[in-house]
């Protein structure tokens, strides 16, 4: 079955994860994504080595943001490289870049340059700090723009300790979803009105969106740092509890009176149901420290498997804190094909998280692995209308990698 973006052609001049991962989402949904790389490649290709992780298997830093694309090497500092790019841009629906304005000007890939080649193209910029303002030309990664500057690091760090580390590419990948969705809106607008768009997405804004309740409420509620003391949760049925095998379980029962009797019964503490200290939401809030202590004492005698057995079928919401490796065998991941298998260039198979949107009749997942550097240069240029003599001339002139 066709994908929702079948027939859409995307040209990407971008590095690292934020913007390229948007191209990966589009490729998962059927778009033909062409990654334009300098002759020495996207610097992300060397990140695993730079971090000295010594890992075997596929390089997640390349596969996650670049799977399913085709790679063309062009030296955009040369006339030949720009001619090659122009030929490809003429056939495209969308142009996506992560380069800041000074580099876009130098490489002649700014809006005016690309629109001069293809007036109907949708032009997309991914930046750290936004396309306007005093920091528009300042570089930024998600750790600086999304984690540190949005307030998220402050929010997630308990008071008095150093800020917690950000999960790798955390805001990059959320920003990539935002870019991909915005491209879909722009394509819809062009289809309906004939008007094309310039789309801007910044990591700072993505981070702020994720922390909207705190930011919007801060003038009235103050700056609420950390997630708070778990023993002080007014509703102890929205809280985490540790098992004796050093695992954690979260309960998320936002209507605690509705679930209180069932919770206590399954936990083996029916005596708590009518205890006057805990028999309604107000009393549980008033006596929360004591109640959390009671519940801690019970969970500390149980293993995670014990809790799973006890709370299977519980009508409230709960979940264990999982390790990344456990997602590979999670029954919901399997049933919904959230981690399809991809065949690498060496013939081995690996699993990767697909784009988080599924369309009926289309199996969402990468059409293939990340391309090798320049793997599709000739193929794409032939599709763009160049013949072998023209391609050879561009290569001999240094325009191609």
Put residue 226 in one of left, alpha, beta given phi > 0 → left and psi -120 to 50 → alpha.
Answer: left
pLDDT at 383: 94
| Helix, strand, coil % over all residues of the chain, rounded to 5 | 45, 15, 45
d(CA 120, CA 267): 62
pLDDT at 226: 65
Six-digit token string for 154: 């402050």
pLDDT at 93: 98
Six-digit token string for 188: 């819809």
Six-digit token string for 43: 């610097």
**DSSP code per residue over 35-46:** EEE-TT--GGGG
CB neighbour list of residue 114: distance below 8 Å, 6 or more residues apart: 89, 95, 121, 123
d(CA 235, CA 390): 70
pLDDT at 348: 87
Let me know if 246 is exposed, middle or buried by CB neighbors in 10 A (0-12, 13-18, 19+).
exposed
Name the β-bridge partners of 10: 33, 94
CB neighbour list of residue 130: distance below 8 Å, 6 or more residues apart: 136, 200, 202, 204, 205
pLDDT at 281: 95
d(CA 97, CA 94): 10
Give the helix/strand (H/E) hosting 71: strand 70-73
CB neighbour list of residue 139: distance below 8 Å, 6 or more residues apart: 100, 128
| pTM to 2 decimal places | 0.90
d(CA 63, CA 375): 15
d(CA 307, CA 369): 39
Cβ atoms of 2 and 31 within 8 Å: the answer is no
Cβ atoms of 81 and 74 within 8 Å: the answer is yes
Q: Alpha-carbon dihedral of residues 42, 43, 48, 52, nearest 10 degrees? A: 160
Six-digit token string for 147: 């984690």
Cβ atoms of 177 and 25 within 8 Å: the answer is yes
The DSSP bridge pattern shows strands 341-343 and 198-202 to be unpaired
Helix (H, G, I), strand (E, B) or coil at 296: helix
Q: Alpha-carbon dihedral of residues 368, 371, 372, 375, nearest 10 degrees? A: 110
pLDDT at 46: 84
In angstroms, the Cα distances linking 12 to 15, 43, 68, 202, 204 are 9, 15, 13, 17, 21
pLDDT at 54: 57
Q: Degrees (nearest 5) of the Cα angle 169, 170, 175?
A: 90
Q: Provide the angle, in degrees to the nearest 10, between the axes of the packed helices 256-267 and 304-311.
A: 120
Q: Starting at the earlier edge strand, list the strands of the sheet with 248-252.
A: 238-242, 248-252, 318-320
The DSSP bridge pattern shows strands 238-242 and 248-252 to be antiparallel
pLDDT in tens, the chain (401 residues): 688 999 999 999 999 999 999 999 999 999 999 999 999 999 999 876 655 555 667 788 899 999 999 999 999 999 999 999 999 999 999 999 999 999 999 999 999 999 999 999 999 999 999 999 999 999 999 999 999 999 999 988 887 788 888 999 999 999 999 999 999 999 999 999 999 999 999 999 999 999 999 999 888 888 877 666 888 899 999 999 999 999 999 999 999 999 999 999 999 999 999 999 999 999 999 999 999 999 999 999 999 999 999 999 999 999 999 999 999 999 999 999 999 999 988 888 989 999 888 888 777 888 899 999 999 999 999 999 999 999 999 998 888 97
d(CA 380, CA 287): 68
């Amino acid at each position: 079955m066709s994908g929702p973006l079948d027939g859409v052609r995307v040209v990407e001049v971008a590095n690292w994860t934020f913007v390229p991962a948007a191209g990966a989402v589009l490729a998962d949904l059927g778009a033909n994504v062409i990654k334009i790389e300098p002759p020495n490649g996207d610097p992300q290709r060397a990140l695993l080595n730079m971090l000295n992780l010594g890992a075997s298997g596929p390089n997640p830093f390349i596969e996650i943001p670049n799977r399913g694309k085709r790679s063309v090497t062009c030296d955009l500092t040369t006339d030949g490289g720009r001619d090659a790019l122009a030929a490809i841009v003429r056939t495209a629906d969308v142009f996506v870049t992560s380069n800041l304005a000074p580099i876009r000007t130098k490489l002649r890939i700014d809006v005016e340059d690309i629109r001069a080649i293809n007036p109907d193209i949708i032009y997309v910029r991914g930046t750290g700090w936004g396309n306007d303002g005093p920091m528009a030309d300042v570089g930024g990664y998600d750790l600086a723009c999304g984690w540190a500057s949005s307030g998220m690091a402050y929010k997630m760090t308990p008071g008095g300790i150093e800020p917690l580390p950000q999960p790798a590419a955390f805001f990059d990948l959320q920003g990539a979803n935002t870019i991909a969705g915005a491209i879909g809106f722009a394509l819809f607008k062009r289809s309906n009105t004939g008007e094309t768009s310039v789309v801007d997405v910044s990591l700072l804004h993505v981070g702020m969106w994720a922390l909207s309740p705190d930011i919007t409420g801060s003038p009235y509620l103050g700056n609420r740092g950390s997630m708070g003391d778990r023993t002080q949760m007014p509703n102890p049925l929205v809280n985490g509890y540790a098992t004796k095998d050093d695992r954690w379980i979260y309960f998320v029962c936002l209507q605690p009176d509705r679930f209180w009797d069932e919770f206590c019964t399954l936990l083996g503490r029916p005596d708590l149901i009518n205890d006057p200290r805990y028999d309604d939401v107000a009393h549980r809030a008033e006596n929360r420290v004591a109640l959390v202590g009671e519940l801690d004492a019970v969970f500390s005698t149980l293993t995670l498997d014990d809790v799973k057995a006890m709370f299977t079928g519980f009508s409230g919401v709960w979940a264990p804190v999982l390790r990344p490796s456990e997602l590979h065998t999670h029954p919901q991941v399997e049933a919904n094909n959230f981690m399809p298998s991809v065949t690498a260039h060496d013939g081995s198979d690996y699993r990767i998280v697909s784009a988080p949107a599924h369309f009926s009749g289309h199996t969402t997942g990468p059409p293939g692995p990340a391309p090798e550097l320049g793997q599709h240069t000739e193929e794409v240029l032939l599709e763009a209308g160049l013949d072998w003599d023209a391609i050879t001339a561009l290569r001999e002139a240094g325009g191609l990698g």
